[in-house]
Amino acid sequence: MGLLDGKVAIVTGAGHGIGRGEALELARQGAAVVVNDVGGSVHGEGSDKRAAEGVAEVIKGAGGRATANFDDVADWSGAQRMVRQAVEEFGKLDVVVNNAGIVRDAMLFSMSEGDFDAVVRVHLKGTFAVTHHAANYWRDESKAGRQPRAAIVNTVSSAGLQGNVGQANYGAAKAGIAALTVISSLELARYGVRANAVAPGGMTRITATLRKDAEVKEPDELEGADYDHMNPANSAPMVAWLASDDALHVTGQVFRAVGHRITHYQPWTLGPTVETKGGPARWEASDIGPAVNAFIFGSRAPGLQIGG
Q: What positions carry a catalytic annotation?
A: 157, 170, 174
- Identify whether the C-beta of residue 126 lies closer than 8 Å to the C-beta of residue 12: yes
Q: Nearest to residue 11, comparing CAs of 152, 183, 217? A: 152
Cα of first residue to Cα of last residue in the chain, in angstroms, is 57
Residues 6+ apart with CB under 8 A from 96: 9, 10, 12, 130, 131, 134, 150, 151, 152, 153
